[in-house]
């Protein structure tokens, strides 16, 4: 064991490991790969391919799954936002591609203030600036309104390059209403749907509701490699995104990508290595993501939900006599949701103490405290591997027992 591992602790090739009951977050190395993903990645090792052929192949599979005209595999949803923004800023103008992040064209992205978040840094990195609209007065506890369709309409002008919409159950106004405004002004609408799978119908929903580009994470509940994602949408925008992340070190005469993927007649030349070069996926990741997508659709929401619900129930049953008074599997009846095992603690401090207590020792257990209900500890089943469950139960039981059988801190 190397010096990096905890004394006597669990380790993977010398690196300390943990049990992840916090869900598929990047910080904790994402979700377990779906069945078939590793096999696809191993098989990818047996041959060489042209990466334009491979992304065109991916595009057809993504189009099939999402109903979009086209798509590419990216290195995550954030990469999708950056490439999608670059596509909106440059279109198929090769000069503009080469100049990014500088641009002499429209470069503002309209976004609702309440939807700003750390991941939208990716849009700025491509060269855009945000024009913020609306206020989340409801969330602030100081009113009833959020951004409204007219706010978007009023903000659209000659500098507008796109609208960014961050999808969540709390997003206001509904996407359909923003899409209507975007369509009327021919402004591209980018949707960040990174964590909106499941339900599986969300693969098609945002394109159907009028999004021009949609970014998903591959490494969250989709079960693809942690460093992958999907960007799907309008064919011309996806072509622009592809040209700005694929390897362009090729003479124009030798450049003959599949015509359904890149229409070369619309290019006056070839761009140099693009602004997205730094987020290139390899063929192993692309084949892996496609296998995950296939499995995600084949397994279906019901079976996936039952699998996750069983893990929650196993933990609930396992801690038996040590269980806190209020412990439920939330979302257990809704196959479109990720079921979560939630435990109500005495107060915020008790919940934090429980979370912190579980995160100590030779094999830390990572969990979450709900930011909207800070007295609730939440265990997410997605990243729990079967052999880890008894160890999690033992640790949780021991901690709850030490605290007198109740989570009162």
Ligand X SMILES: *Cc1c(COP(=O)(O)O)cnc(C)c1O
Q: Which residues sit at the interface with ligand X, rule CB under 6 A?
A: 26, 76-78, 119, 166, 192, 194-195, 217, 219, 229
Least gap, CB of 78 to ligand X (angstroms)? 3
Minimum CB distance to ligand X, residue 191 (Å): 10
In this complex, which beta carbon is closest to ligand X, that of residue 79 or of residue 396?
A: 79
Q: How far is the CB of 184 from ligand X (least distance, A)?
A: 26
User: Minimum distance between the CB of residue 331 and ligand X, rounded to whole angstroms?
Assistant: 18
Cβ nearer to ligand X, comparing 146 with 192: 192
The CA distances from residue 328 to 293, 316, 341, 402, 409, in Å, are 30, 8, 6, 22, 19
The token duo for 187 is 């402004």
CA dist 289 and 225 (Å) reads 6
Cα separation of 379 and 339, whole Å? 9
> Whole-angstrom Cα distance, residue 53 to residue 45?
16
CB nearer to ligand X: pick between 219 and 271: 219
Is the CB of 217 or the CB of 407 nearer to ligand X?
217
Question: Do 267 and 96 contact (CB within 8 A), yes or no?
Answer: no
Whose Cβ is closer to ligand X: residue 37's or residue 194's? 194
Whole-number minimum distance, CB 229 to ligand X, in Å?
Answer: 5
In the complex with ligand X, the residue whose CB is nearer, 243 or 279, is 279
Bridge partners, 192 (sequence order): 166, 215
Name the residue nearer to ligand X (CB basis): 78 or 162: 78
Sheet with 108-112, strands from edge to edge, namely: 70-74, 229-233, 213-217, 189-192, 160-166, 108-112, 129-133
Four-residue CA torsion sign, 254, 58, 284, 43 = negative
Q: How far is the CB of 65 from ligand X (least distance, A)?
A: 17
Report how far residue 225's alpha carbon sits from residue 35's, in angstroms, rounded to the nearest whole number.
12
Rounded least distance, CB 118 to ligand X, Å: 8
Q: Report in angstroms how near the CB of residue 195 gets to ligand X at its nearest.
A: 4
Structure tokens given for 364: 């830390």
SS (H, E, C) 21-83: CCCCCHHHCCCCCCCCHHHHHHHHCCCCCCHHHHHHHHHHHHHHHHCCCEEEEECCHHHHHHH
Q: Facing residues of 342 across strands?
A: 328, 378
Whichever of 89 and 194 has its CB closer to ligand X, that residue is 194
Nearer to ligand X (CB atom), residue 126 or residue 195: 195
> Min. distance of Cβ 379 from ligand X in angstroms?
19
By the 8 A CB rule, do 234 and 188 touch?
A: yes
Dist CA 184 CA 186 (whole Å): 6
In the complex with ligand X, the residue whose CB is nearer, 68 or 73, is 73
Residue whose CB is nearest to ligand X in the complex, by number? 76
Q: How far is the CB of 45 from ligand X (least distance, A)?
A: 24
E strand or H helix that includes residue 342? strand 340-344
Helix axes 235-243, 51-66, angle to 10 degrees: 150
H-helix or E-strand containing 180?
Answer: helix 175-185
| Owner of token pair 């279109």 | 91
């Amino acid at each position: 064991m190397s010096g990096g591992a905890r004394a006597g602790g669990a380790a993977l090739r010398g690196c300390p490991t943990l049990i992840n009951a916090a869900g598929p977050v990047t910080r904790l190395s994402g979700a377990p790969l779906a069945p078939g993903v590793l096999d696809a990645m191993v098989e990818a090792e047996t041959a060489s391919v042209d990466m334009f052929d491979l992304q065109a192949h991916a595009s057809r599979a993504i189009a099939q799954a999402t109903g979009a005209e086209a798509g590419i595999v990216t290195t995550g949803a954030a990469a999708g936002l950056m490439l999608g923004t670059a596509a909106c800023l440059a279109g198929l103008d090769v000069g503009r591609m080469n100049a990014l992040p500088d641009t002499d064209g429209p470069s503002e992205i309209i976004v609702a203030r309440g939807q700003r978040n750390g991941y939208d840094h990716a849009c700025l990195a491509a060269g855009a600036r945000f024009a913020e609209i609306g206020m989340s007065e409801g969330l602030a506890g100081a009113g009833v309104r959020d951004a409204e369709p007219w706010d978007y309409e009023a903000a659209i002008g000659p500098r507008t390059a796109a609208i960014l919409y961050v999808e969540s159950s709390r997003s206001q106004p509904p996407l359909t209403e923003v899409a209507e405004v975007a369509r009327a002004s021919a402004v591209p609408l980018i949707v960040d749907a990174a964590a909106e799978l499941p339900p599986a119908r969300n693969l098609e929903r945002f394109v159907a509701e009028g999004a021009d580009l949609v970014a998903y994470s591959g490494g969250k509940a989709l079960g693809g490699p942690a460093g992958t994602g999907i960007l799907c949408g309008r064919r011309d925008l996806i072509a622009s995104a592809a040209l700005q992340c694929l390897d362009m070190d090729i003479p124009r005469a030798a450049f003959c990508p599949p015509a359904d993927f890149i229409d070369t007649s619309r290019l006056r030349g070839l761009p140099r290595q693009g602004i997205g070069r730094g987020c290139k996926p390899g063929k192993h990741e692309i084949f892996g993501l496609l296998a995950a997508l296939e499995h995600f659709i084949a397994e279906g929401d019901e079976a996936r939900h039952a699998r996750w619900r069983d893990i929650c129930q196993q933990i609930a049953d396992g801690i038996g006599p040590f269980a806190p008074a209020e412990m439920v599997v939330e979302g257990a009846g809704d196959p479109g949701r990720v079921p979560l095992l939630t435990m109500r603690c005495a107060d915020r401090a008790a919940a934090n103490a429980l979370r912190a207590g579980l995160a100590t020792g030779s094999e830390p257990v990572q969990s979450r405290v709900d930011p909207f209900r800070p007295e609730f500890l939440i265990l997410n089943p997605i990243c729990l591997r079967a052999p880890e469950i008894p160890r999690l139960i033992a640790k949780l039981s021991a901690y709850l027992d030490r605290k007198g059988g109740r989570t009162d801190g």
